[in-house]
Chain A
Amino acid sequence: MSQLFRPGANTFAKASVIAGLGVALGLGGILNNIERTSYVTDVNVPRDQPVMFTHKHHVSGVGMDCRYCHSSVEVSSSAGIPSTEVCMGCHSQIWSEAPILEPVRESWRSGRSIQWNRVHDLPGYVYFNHSIHVTKGMGCQTCHGQVDKMPMVWKENTLLMEWCLDCHRAPEKYIRPKDQVFNMEYKPAGNQAELGAKLVAEYKVRKLTDCSICHR
């Protein structure tokens, strides 16, 4: 009777143990990384909106401040989405016939809100407040990216907890002078590590890694 396994089978058996381990690790790696891809996080994916509103034109082109429309960002948890009245302040006269703005005019005529699609969707178990961030020297651009260069807005960052913690553990990496928060072109004057540490002390930024800071 001939042998069932040839001598080479030993090598195959050893290799399969290692390969099996590799496959297991690889699967783990894929599972670990898949939630960080833009397929899941929507990072860098421009979101469709009922109106083709462009921040690029309004901020870079016209030079409007973020707060002209997002007027509650300094005093409220929500930055605020402008009412149709704010759009119509200019667009009752400028581009008042443009087909692209028909949903805005329709909202104005009917009194029904424009239903924008949310770009940044934090989980319900996360407490977030815009006002404390912008009044303690966190620039809009730090989290939202260069919105002034975005025709249609996309998410610049994952909003994963690890991303929040990256700054909450070391705010000195990103903090900027209070008068530069709304400047989309801000570059630190000098060394961010030195300037950051100074600002964290000056603005009395507290310890930010207690669970209840965000999960309250």
Chain B
Amino acid sequence: MPKRITLAVIVTVAALATGCRQDMHDQPRYRPLAASTFFPDGRSARPAVEGAVARGYLKNDIPLYYGKVARESKEFVTDIPVKVDKALLTRGQDRYNIYCSPCHGASGDGEGMVVQRGLKHPPTYHSDKMHKQPVGYYFDVITNGFGVMPSYASRIPVNDRWAIIAYVRALQLSRTATLDDVPPAERARLEASGQ
């Protein structure tokens, strides 16, 4: 009798213990950015082989991808190479506020929160010098960084960069606009409100 009981206890405990295995929970595959013991640098996310081009990402549109007029040129494009409309500006405003405003400030004067905490003051967008910079220059700075500003290429896709540039142009216009720039209908409303 005691033998049977011992056996029963062992079987029960063994049966319960098998339920504790987490094989399904911890499956032998990599999740994004997971650590790896296989590769020497400990990363499962592998850097692309140099010169590799992802399907659909051949950068043969030089103005769009580089902000330059031609491949070997140093000359920046002066026109935004995508269609500028309300949607692009809205997108630009959204992206600007996420990625740029911490340093450049919501209005582009360079008084962002991080600057107030001690980062080097970036130039304001509202100077004559910055007004005259071609859009391709801004694209180049976002893509490759400038001075203490790092590259934002990994976080801001190409089209979003152009959207941000369109919005920066809108910010610049907002400081130089005159009453004559206001459409007549809006102008009547402005004047009526006495501003």
Q: A: which residues have CB within 8 A of B?
A: 62-65, 67-68, 71, 76-78, 80-81, 83, 85-86, 88-90, 92-94, 111-113, 115, 123-125
Q: Are B25 and A65 in contact (CB under 8 A)?
A: no
**How many pairs of residues, A versus B, come closer than 8 Å at their CB atoms?**
65
Encoded as 1 (CB less than 8 Å from any A CB) or 0, chain B from 74 to 116 comes to 0000000000000000000000011100100000000001100
Residue of A nearest to B118 (CB): A94
Q: Are B98 and A67 in contact (CB under 8 A)?
A: yes
Nearest Cβ in chain A — how far from B166, in angstroms?
19
Known: A68-B102, A123-B25. A88 touches B150 (CB 8 A): yes
Q: B: which residues have CB within 8 A of A?
A: 24-27, 29, 31-33, 35, 41-43, 97-99, 102, 113-114, 117-120, 148-150, 154-156
Q: Are A81 and B33 in contact (CB under 8 A)?
A: yes
B-side contacts of A76, CB under 8 Å: 32
Q: Are A77 and B32 in contact (CB under 8 A)?
A: yes
Q: Are A115 and B32 in contact (CB under 8 A)?
A: no
Contact among B31, B35, B113, B149 for A63, CB-based, below 8 A: B113
Once the chains are docked, how many angstroms separate the CA of A77 from the CA of B113?
30
Once the chains are docked, how many angstroms separate the CA of A113 from the CA of B150?
18
Q: Are B118 and A93 in contact (CB under 8 A)?
A: yes
Residue of A nearest to B150 (CB): A89
Once the chains are docked, how many angstroms separate the CA of A113 from the CA of B39?
13
Q: Are B25 and A124 in contact (CB under 8 A)?
A: yes
Q: Are A62 and B25 in contact (CB under 8 A)?
A: no
Contact among B26, B98, B119 for A124, CB-based, below 8 A: B26
A-B contact pairs, 9 of them (CB 8 A): A65-B98, A68-B155, A78-B31, A85-B150, A85-B154, A93-B120, A115-B35, A125-B25, A125-B27
Once the chains are docked, how many angstroms separate the CA of A25 from the CA of B102?
57
Q: Are B154 and A83 in contact (CB under 8 A)?
A: yes
Q: Are A90 and B119 in contact (CB under 8 A)?
A: yes
Q: Are A71 and B155 in contact (CB under 8 A)?
A: yes
A-side contacts of B27, CB under 8 Å: 124-125
A-side contacts of B98, CB under 8 Å: 65, 67-68
Nearest Cβ in chain B — how far from A111, in angstroms?
8
Q: Are B24 and A125 in contact (CB under 8 A)?
A: yes
A-side contacts of B102, CB under 8 Å: 62-64, 68
Q: Are A93 and B29 in contact (CB under 8 A)?
A: no
Nearest Cβ in chain A — how far from B42, in angstroms?
7
Known: A113-B43, A124-B24. A68 touches B99 (CB 8 A): yes
Among all A-B residue pairs, the 5 with the closest Cβ atoms? A124-B27, A78-B32, A71-B155, A65-B98, A123-B25
